[in-house]
Amino acid sequence: MVQVVFQLRFLTGALLAAPPLQAMAVRDVTVGALAWLCATWQVYLLNGLCDRTEDRHNGSGRPLATGALPASAARTIATVLSAVAVALGALVSTGFAMLVVVMLALGWLYSAAPRPQKANLPGFVAVVVAGGLVTYLAGWHAAGGGVPDPRMLAVALALSFWMGLVGMTKDLPDVAGDRLAGRHTLPIVLPERTARILLALGALIVAGGLAAVSVTEPTLLPLAGLLLTGAVVLSCCVLTRISDGDRSRRRRPYRAFMLTQYAVHLTAIAQCLAI
- Determine the pLDDT at residue 119: 85
Q: How far apart are CA 226 and CA 232, in angstroms?
A: 10
Which string of DSSP letters, residue by residue, matches 184-197? --HHHHS-HHHHHH
If one compares 19 and 13, the residue with the highest pLDDT of the two is 13
- Determine the pLDDT at residue 248: 85
Q: How confident is the model at residue 246 (pLDDT cuts 50, 70, 90)?
A: confident
Q: How far apart are CA 68 and CA 174, in angstroms?
A: 21
**How many other CB atoms are found less than 10 A from the CB of residue 91?**
14
Phi, psi torsion values for 148, nearest 5 degrees: -60, 135
Residue 20 has pLDDT above 70, yes or no: no
| Domain count for the chain | 1
State the sign of the Cα–Cα–Cα–Cα dihedral 90, 94, 96, 97: positive
Q: How confident is the model at residue 24 (pLDDT cuts 50, 70, 90)?
A: low
Inter-residue contact 15 to 265 (CB < 8 Å): no
- Determine the pLDDT at residue 254: 94
Q: How far is CA 168 from CA 60, 163, 219, 271, in A?
A: 17, 8, 29, 29
Short-list 100, 79, 93, CA closest to 37: 100
Residue 173 has pLDDT above 90, yes or no: no
Short-list 158, 78, 88, CA closest to 111: 78
Read off the pTM: 0.93
- Determine the pLDDT at residue 185: 86
What average pLDDT score do residues 13-33 get? 80
What average pLDDT score do residues 49-65 get? 80
Cβ-count burial of 249 within 10 angstroms (0-12 exposed, 13-18 middle, 19+ buried)? middle
Residue 21 has pLDDT above 90, yes or no: no
CATH number of the domain bearing residue 166: 1.10.600
Q: How far apart are CA 104 and CA 173, in angstroms?
A: 27
The mean pLDDT of the chain is: 91
Q: How far apart are CA 103 and CA 195, in angstroms?
A: 28
Q: How confident is the model at residue 264 (pLDDT cuts 50, 70, 90)?
A: very high
Residue 171 has pLDDT above 60, yes or no: yes
Inter-residue contact 108 to 46 (CB < 8 Å): yes
Which string of DSSP letters, residue by residue, matches 91-143? HH-HHHHHHHHHHHHHHHHHHTSSS-GGGSHHHHHHHHHHHHHHHHHHHHHHT
Short-list 95, 108, 106, CA closest to 140: 95
Q: Could you report the per-residue pLDDT of 187-230, keeping only the tens digit for each?
A: 899 999 999 999 999 999 999 999 999 999 999 999 999 999 99
Residue 23 has pLDDT above 70, yes or no: no
Phi, psi torsion values for 216, nearest 5 degrees: -100, -5
If one compares 95 and 26, the residue with the highest pLDDT of the two is 95
Quote the domain boundaries for residue 39.
2-273
Least confident range of 16-25, 52-61, 148-157? 16-25
Residue 83 has pLDDT above 90, yes or no: yes
Least confident range of 32-41, 94-103, 115-124, 143-152? 143-152
If one compares 15 and 260, the residue with the highest pLDDT of the two is 260
